[in-house]
Chain A
Amino acid sequence: MNDQQALHLLNELELILESDPLIDEVGFIHPSQFDMLNEEACHLLPSSDDTLSSKVSDIDDASKHIGAASFWNKDHKLGISTEVLFPLYQTTKHAFMAAIKQYKALVDNSCIEDSSSYSASSHDNVENEVMKLSRALLLLSCDFGTAWHSRKLAVSKKHRLSMLMYELQLSALVLSYAPKCEHAWSHRRWVIKSIAGRCSTLQNILEKESELVEKIAERSKMNYRAWNHRNWLVSYMSGEQVLHELKKTRSWAGLHVADNSCFHYRRRLMLRILEDSKIGPVQNYVDINQLWEEELEWNEMLIKLYVGREALWLHRRFLAPILLKGFLIDHTDTTGTSIYKDFDKFVDNEFKLHSFCSTVPESSFEDHHAQALHCATYMSWLIKFIGIEFQEKLRVENLKSLLKKICPEKPFLWDHLTNNKS
């Protein structure tokens, strides 16, 4: 493919993006899949004018032929042929690098020179170019930081809400093919920081952000970047929103018990509620003791249902000490004695859970071994870090020999965990 043809491809990509502003998904497809998609589309909708070829009628025949086999655009989905990625990327990158250089020079000059000597129209043209080219480039190479920055630069000069909102849309489009793209997530935070305080719909936007994370987490498992974004949103949320999020994520977490990130998100929300409760009465008064107890109960149910899941046991490690260490003594609680009563109940319950989980069936599978290991480490952890004593019910030596039997590879760790109580 020569440079001219590659340039045509770029024009065509830009044309598609202009003519279908609602594209919400982009993907790279092998030419063979491509033919199949086209055939399928023609077969289903023989008279449809919604397919790409009709939109690019102004492009000469040779290039049109390349184009027809290079992009696929229907139902607001965009497919780019893997065959053209390389030349298209090279061309787009070179065009972008030239444009951004020119744009930066104009921005610098407009700062030092007086406005009369500086041409506003050429500035706008170059700025448009930068916006168009950076968009195309980011759909081909999501980690191109300089392209993301160029957009921030142009948008920050304008302070227009609609432009900022478009950045959220573009970033979501990039995330549709690169759900872990750090720059795309960071770009969203930049937008939110820019509009926070001057936008009445911030709470709405936060809700949509949270939904986006959930949607992406559904198909991109244990996506740290996505969940990190959701954690970050919490500090902007209202108390009510936090409670809503906690309620909403419960069923999702129950269906994704191996996704530690979702449980961490719940921990983040719960700690925020705890924090809020120390400052004043929580909105729609929440009984924090009850909140924790219910989470523990739910967690136990999941542990018994989904055998051997590390994330569930770690969640329990978070819940137990906060309940026990008296962080939860509510200022409205005047009796003060209930803590001790619950303490005994708790110890009794954990011992029963241990008995339930540490029996590995004869014909046991790996899951049951994992369950026994997680349970034994959890119990050692309660003894070591929380100072719980199970006395004759559960002796430390028994735990140690159990750990060494299930996982003989780490004797030094087990010795340490079970030796000195601190």
Chain B
Amino acid sequence: MAELAAEKHANYIVSVEKKKGSFESVVIEHLRMNGAYWGLTTLDLLEKLHVVDVDQIVSWLISCQHESGGFGGNIGHDPHVMYTLSAVQVLALFDKLDVLDVEKVSNYVAGLQNEDGSFSGDEWGEVDTRFSYIAICCLALLHQLNKINVEKAVKYIVSCKNLDGGFGCTPGGESHAGQIFCCVGALAITGSLHHIDKDLLGWWLCERQVKSGGLNGRPEKLPDVCYSWWVLSSLIMIDRVHWINKEKLVKFILDCQDVENGGISDRPDDAVDVYHTYFGVAGLSLLEYPGLKAIDPAYALPVDVVNRIFLGK
């Protein structure tokens, strides 16, 4: 079996940031904040975070913050809770949360909670359980969960549970591994996992593993490296990860590497990108692949970073 090309992947992440000027690269500049989180967390899991210029990143990051307290995906772009969590996570990686006006950021996030307990992604009111997770995770990292009605937030998430044990975007929405991660993660952070039928959900999640060993996100779909994260982290949080075949999943992820130029793709032989590189490495970290830092399945940050925040080291 191939090994993890850790050095190559770190070089790939750093090179992406320097490679600009193609349509493909500029057309995603609106979500650079997410990109920063994926790339930098990958570097940290690979124990290579020291290669980047912290001050430069932090000063760019701060210039993406709005008067409202929320962060945009890049300078001049509108704020959204999604980019706000990424900004907080990046600062957490660098142990730089103290540069934030915590009051302001947490007021922005808490202000997005609706009457029924759900969360909007921004001022325009789109509701999704993803935003529930993002808000809860973000506030927890800032020690500000008391700013929202946690009970109602949990109730809303539970109302999005389907008869197959999974979760959708809104009540009645189709189960999807990405949404399931968000709902399970939010319930884990708020200590509400008892709302989940673990055997039922565990079964659905295990059925995501296909013959090649990879995981898909929904029935009948092709496997994709990103679900190594969404499905696996959910299985770990509900304590059912021993139901899947870990060796085959490791092999699937390693088969998706570009061993020459670095980076990981969605499926073997496809083009690599930062998103899949992060989810591949994070998945391997959950599978306790040697040489990688451990990652926390709920906060999606390295365990040492999470411990620093909640245990003061």
Contacts and interface: CB of A to CB of B under 8 A. Distances in A.
A346 interface: no
Nearest to B176: A224
A422 to B, nearest CB: 7
A409 B26 contact: no
Q: Choose among A85, A309, A381, A416 the residue with the greatest number of B CB atoms under 10 Å from its CB.
A: A416
Q: Is the interface of A mostly helix, strand, loop or mixed?
A: helix
Contacts of B151: none
A268 to B, nearest CB: 5
Contacts of A234: 172
Nearest to A225: B169
Interface in A182-238: 186, 189-190, 193, 222, 224, 227-228, 231-232, 234-235
Interface string B104-139: 000000000000000000101110000000000000
Contacts of B221: 222
A310 B219 contact: yes
Contacts of A101: 76
Contact of A97 (B22, B76, B171, B176): B76
Interface size class of A (residues with CB under 8 A): 35 or more
B248 A385 contact: no
Nearest to A100: B76
A228 B174 contact: yes
Given A258-B220, A310-B220, A410 B245 contact: yes
Contacts of A189: 126
Interface in A260-306: 260-261, 264-265, 267-268, 271-272
A311 B213 CA distance: 20
Q: Choose among B76, B168, B200, B220 the residue with the greatest number of A CB atoms under 10 Å from its CB.
A: B220
A317 interface: yes
Contact of B78 (A140, A146, A268, A413): A146
Interface in A101-156: 101, 140-141, 143-146, 149, 152
A271 B172 contact: yes
B27 A409 contact: no
Contacts of B173: 228, 231-232
Nearest to A156: B124
A141 B27 contact: yes
Given A97-B76, A145-B80, A318-B164, A413 B172 contact: no
A339 B264 CA distance: 54
A7 B28 CA distance: 22
Interface in B163-218: 163-164, 168-176, 199-200, 203, 206-207, 209, 213, 218
Nearest to A190: B124
Nearest to B170: A232
A210 to B, nearest CB: 15
Interface in A87-104: 89-90, 93, 97, 101
A149 B244 contact: no
B163 A318 contact: yes
Given A193-B125, A222-B218, A413-B243, A227 B174 contact: yes
Given A190-B124, A271-B172, A412-B243, A145 B73 contact: yes
Interface string A151-167: 01000000000000000
B31 interface: yes
A410 B206 contact: yes
A312 to B, nearest CB: 10
Contacts of A97: 76
A90 B30 CA distance: 13
Nearest to B122: A149
A93 B26 CA distance: 10
A222 B220 contact: yes
Interface of A: 85-86, 89-90, 93, 97, 101, 140-141, 143-146, 149, 152, 186, 189-190, 193, 222, 224, 227-228, 231-232, 234-235, 258-261, 264-265, 267-268, 271-272, 309-311, 314, 317-318, 321-322, 377, 381, 384-385, 409-410, 412-413, 416-417, 422
Q: Which 6 A-B pairs have the closest CB atoms?
A: A264-B174, A413-B243, A86-B23, A409-B245, A260-B219, A146-B78
